[in-house]
A and B are shown apart, each in its own frame.
Chain A
Amino acid sequence: MNTRIGIGARREFVDELITQQELKPDFVELAPENWMKMGGYWGKKLRQVTERYPVTCHGLSLSLGSPEELDYEFIKDLDKFLNEHQVQIFSEHLSYTKTNNAHVYDLLPIPFREDAVKHVAQRIREAQELLGRRIAIENVSYYTEVDAEMDEADFISSIVEEADCDLLLDVNNVYVNAFNHKYDAKEHISKLPLHRVAYIHMAGHEQVEPDLIIDTHGEAIIDPVYELFHYTVNQMKEVPVLLERDFNFPELKELQTEMNNLRSITEKAWRSNYAMVK
């Protein structure tokens, strides 16, 4: 068994991904919005990366949680990009980045409300139909609820069920949210539809106040998040796992060490799962 462990491709180390001196991921993830409609130097680098690795994409601007209608022109461009680079998994955030036709380029929290569940599920279904592929939606970090009618786990589960989509489980986000909103992370995970998880994200974060962690992707993964990851993968089937690191880059060998840690945990968990099945 060889669980696929990938890394989010960043311009800062794209050359290293091409030469594979210190980083040896099984696949790479791209944020399509950071590469779409680009030629020249970056277009060439993109082609070199996508020719070398299997590719997944993690969208930023589809804004599945927006009140307004989907951006159909953008979806066309996105579809073209995903097909051109033979993207195997496409995921997006369960959040919104745009209202009143204005992008804010950040992930805002959708109110955990019944009408939002139906509205967002409808938009995901429509986006899946237009893209001709399933979308894995990611549980995002959120720092405040907004007039919530239900808890986060019910919100996520209801949307995944109604939209008939996949789930991208960001284990670090679960940890961050559990800390910030004072709930039990493992209990939360057990309430999620783990059979729909197509993909896992892992990352580091930063504690900025005694009772607040911000999901920065700028630090190494900490032990309690590894521990939660260990717990999680033992509850579910094998899926690809991705390390996110978006800034404050360490020596690249440290990123490889983090990927090795993730591989070690998954292989142990999923090998024993296989043994049980056999």
Chain B
Amino acid sequence: MQWLSNHTKSLQDRFAEYCRTGQTVALPGTSAGRMKHYRRLSFNVISNALEQAYPITLEVLTDDDWITLVDGFYANHKSRTPLLWQMPYEFYEYVENNELPVKKTFPFLPELLYFEWLEIEVHTMEDLDLPEKFIARSSFGMEEKIAVNPEYQLVQLTHPLHIMPVKEAVRHPGNYYALIYRDPGNGNVRFINLSALFAYAFDQLAQQPVSMMQVAQRTEKAFRLTKDHKVASHLSAFIHDLAQQKTVLGVVS
């Protein structure tokens, strides 16, 4: 049974709308002087969560641009997640999907936000299981199926945000690949810069456990390479390097 009257529902909706927009609303039986504290406090919650999530963006934008962006997000975006720590991802989506003046000044903004979010996601994502029949190992034969650390994100970037400061990165547009992963020992997030070829190879390994030989064959085909290019040899060195960095963890028997 629906108990709530339209009147009470409207009071609640308009109260919350005021908190999100700050636009004055006359609600019966309220104190305007007191309502402003709800606007201030709730805005601070949103703003603080975003500042913690996006410290680099906060540093890059002017204070006015940042406040305008956060204000617009709170007013115009309906946050879906009940988990405050996940709300910053919706902020990234909001910036990515809307025409915003700040993007004219900072066209790389969506990518920067996404990059910063990925660090949070990889650090915080739920623990993922290793494949069945996993055996920890740091050296591998060419025919053994390789098991990668499942807590990672492989991302293509148009600016090398993972290897240089933002102001420098924006002067070097191109195609970059970053492997962002969680160190299984201490939970820290680490970044590896990859070539397109190794990014492809890692992606093949990560889809399902396959051998280095299989990945080498697929890579040769995808990049139209021949045996003369010694892909298998390069790949073997690459994967052993990944094992040192705990991005490859062992084999599947």
Contact = CB atoms under 8 A, between A and B. Distances in A.
Contact of B124 (A39, A99, A116, A208): A39
Contact of A61 (B12, B82, B126): B82
A119 B4 contact: yes
B8 A116 contact: yes
Q: State which size class the interface on A falls in.
A: 35 or more
Interface stretch (A12-20, A143-151, A195-203, A223-231): A143-151
Interface stretch (A101-109, A165-173, A183-191, A259-267): A101-109
Interface residues of B, number: 51
B5 A115 contact: yes
A44 interface: yes
Contact of A122 (B3, B27, B30): B3
A124 to B, nearest CB: 12
Contacts of A237: none
A94 to B, nearest CB: 13
B127 A37 contact: no
Interface string B123-157: 11111100000000000000000000001000000
B84 A100 contact: no
B78 A102 contact: yes
Interface string B66-96: 0000000000011111111111000000000
A71 B31 contact: no
A106 B45 contact: yes
A14 B209 CA distance: 37
B85 A111 contact: no
For A33, A40, A67, A214, which residue has the most chain B Cβ atoms within 10 angstroms? A40
A101 B17 CA distance: 11
B79 A67 contact: no
Contacts of B19: 104, 106, 108
A66 B38 CA distance: 16
Contacts of A145: 29-31
B28 to A, nearest CB: 4
A39 B42 contact: no
B31 A144 contact: yes
Contacts of B28: 146-147
A36 interface: yes
Contacts of A99: 12-13, 16-17
A96 interface: yes
Contacts of A111: 8, 11-12, 29
Contact of B34 (A34, A103, A143): A143
Contacts of A212: 34, 37
Contact of B3 (A34, A74, A119, A214): A119
A40 B125 contact: yes
B85 A34 contact: yes
Contacts, number: 154
B159 interface: no
A269 interface: no
Interface string B9-39: 1011101110110000001111100110110
A102 B79 contact: yes
Interface in A46-94: 60-63, 65-67, 71, 74
A110 interface: yes
Nearest to B30: A144
B162 interface: no
A40 B182 contact: yes
B46 A105 contact: yes
A146 B15 contact: yes
For A34, A38, A144, which residue has the most chain B Cβ atoms within 10 angstroms? A144
B4 A33 contact: no
A208 B182 CA distance: 43
Given A144-B35, A145-B30, A40 B123 contact: yes
B83 to A, nearest CB: 5
A146 B125 CA distance: 40
Nearest to B187: A41
For A42, A99, A113, A180, which residue has the most chain B Cβ atoms within 10 angstroms? A99
B186 interface: yes
A250 interface: no
A100 B9 CA distance: 10
The 3 closest A-B pairs by CB, nearest first: A41-B187, A61-B82, A102-B78
Given A41-B188, A147-B29, 13 more contacts: A34-B85, A36-B83, A39-B151, A40-B125, A63-B82, A67-B8, A98-B82, A105-B45, A105-B79, A119-B3, A143-B31, A146-B27, A146-B29
Interface of A: 33-34, 36-44, 60-63, 65-67, 71, 74, 96, 98-106, 108-111, 113, 115-116, 118-119, 122, 143-148, 180, 208, 212, 214
